[in-house]
Structure 1
């Protein structure tokens, strides 16, 4: 099975929470969820119409105001703990009060998930969530996810329980990385840490080399930890030349620092394959173009536009 298919299978497993063998904990999460500022509650008291008419947002200090009960601290309590506190407070006003509390909007446990995920943005934890669950909540990893997943945690939220954890230069964040492949393979369950509110999970986009033209498997190839790949390595990953190649007229299209243009580097793959010329290293974002021998040519700008847009390109890991 190809590495691409394996990646898609593993990414799907991650999105379903299967790779880590985790049970469905939604019910227990709701019970354990600790309320905080900006959470919105719906509170009902049997027989008291003025309570429950409108949702109540917990203020920045963790308090709510309720008719008959006055100001009540909600921050730091679970839903059940708040229900019991309200029941006790209302006993002086209502005989045998029957109170119900529900969360209608989560707002106190944001975590940012950015980079090469399918739905980047700010998500609410809604209880205890692991790294795998948080990545899954962002739609899972994209095929162009880089070699490592980075977690940043404000120092006031505590340490990151990972061997790679270090303090950022400004000493405001604890930072650590988890290798993407090991994470997807669930090689070390200890790396599937609990994510805290205000953590930032970053998935950098992988460095890639592109191969187009007369090869069997054109597409984008992820470099992983490597900084370069030789032309023969790249050609091998593309499963060799196609049926009508003109390898002697191949080109490398390489970005020019500080410019949107690319320079063309002539590459005689025919001589390299025959051992008559030295192999050449390709760098991140290089395009290897192998023309056909039937006279058809692809304009350089059209190739660059296709690469930039990702049109029709398959990413191989």
Structure 2
């Protein structure tokens, strides 16, 4: 006969073992709640990837690639599907669906309507895994020139950011060419090209980046071509530490002292009072010479002269102070030619 106290202890022990085992068994057979607007773990991780996610108002087009998640239709899930050049998809049960021109939400609704013949209250989630239908070309003085995908609505500043931003040698103009299928470029100076197929416009990079006129930050359309020309150059040759060509930048101008600073200053053999600016004469092949006393300029006694595109600042050395003849001029031309063409 079991003592009552011992019997109680045995019963308690049995309960402590049985209850957790029952709960584990229930968890093992418990079905997950019905899906409502969510995706399985793999699809959710993919959709959360910024490089692959898209706003629900993204307009699909040919060559975009999507994946589907459809509750109770495993055969349709997580398989890459490419929109063909006609803008169509071929799907199990749903058949051929014209996807080009639809937003993601519209395509989800269209597929759901078609699946109602086979499924009760179908719930479809579309994820774009490759963007191929909205290319825009960005060339010139940008960090990552090439073809980029808009992946939805993008402004000019956003597209320039996609292309790595403007380089230090970028000029102050941004040129845009757009197919007239998308309408004219909404800028005051936009003009049609001679063929009547494209709209072209140019605007100030400084204005766009500074936000001085928000109207310049236009929405970019698929197949737009954006070019950012390099800045014009000025040149420094002679007795400086770093001779060469230097971009005028987005401001479009540099002063003599600024260029001298970019050239890392005068070397110890320089004759600063004999420097000169060699400037191209408009419509002619020759250059005019402008005397510059760098010694007085650096002391603040002379005005800091602005340099123009293709100006050459020549700083002779002390041994060449009196070399004003043709031999010196020829030497300047040789140095100038080597410097200019060495930078191209």
- After TM superposition, is the score higher than 0.5? yes
Q: Pick from 143, 150, 169: which aligns with 2:168?
A: 143
Shift of the 43–221 alpha-carbon distance from structure 1 to 2, 3 Å rule, reads closer
Q: Pick from 29, 34, 57: which aligns with 2:82?
A: 57
Aligned to 2:186: 161
Shift of the 290–264 alpha-carbon distance from structure 1 to 2, 3 Å rule, reads farther
List alignment gaps of at least 5 residues for structure 1. 1-24, 256-262, 275-279, 310-317
Matched, 1:222 2:248: yes
Q: Which residues in structure 2 correspond to 1:98-137 (within 5 Å)?
A: 98-137=123-162
Offset of residue 221 of structure 1: 3.9
Offset of residue 292 of structure 1: 4.3
Aligned to 2:119: 94
- Describe the superposition over 1:283-308 as per-residue Cα deviations: whole angstroms up to 9, x where unpaired: 7445544254489x999499638952
Shift of the 152–305 alpha-carbon distance from structure 1 to 2, 3 Å rule, reads closer
Aligned to 2:98: 73
CA distance, structure 1, for counterparts of residue 288 and residue 218 of structure 2: 49
- Describe the superposition over 1:2-58 as per-residue Cα deviations: whole angstroms up to 9, x where unpaired: xxxxxxxxxxxxxxxxxxxxxxx9999612211111100001222323213531111
Offset of residue 205 of structure 1: 1.1
Q: Secondary structure at the match of 2:107?
A: helix
Q: Pick from 38, 41, 60: which aligns with 1:35?
A: 60
**If the length of structure 2 is used for normalisation, what is the TM-score?**
0.65
Aligned to 1:210: 235
Shift of the 242–83 alpha-carbon distance from structure 1 to 2, 3 Å rule, reads same
CA distance, structure 1, for counterparts of residue 336 and residue 260 of structure 2: 22
Offset of residue 180 of structure 1: 1.5
Shift of the 305–150 alpha-carbon distance from structure 1 to 2, 3 Å rule, reads closer
Matched, 1:242 2:266: yes
CA distance, structure 2, for counterparts of residue 155 and residue 268 of structure 1: 48
Stretch moving more, 89-98 or 263-272:
263-272
Q: Secondary structure at the match of 2:159?
A: helix
CA distance, structure 1, for counterparts of residue 288 and residue 190 of structure 2: 44
Q: Pick from 63, 73, 76: which aligns with 1:48?
A: 73
Structure with more of its chain in helix, by fraction: 2
Please say which structure displays the higher CA radius of gyration: 2
Query: In angstroms, what is the RMSD of aligned CA positions?
Result: 4.0
Shift of the 221–188 alpha-carbon distance from structure 1 to 2, 3 Å rule, reads same
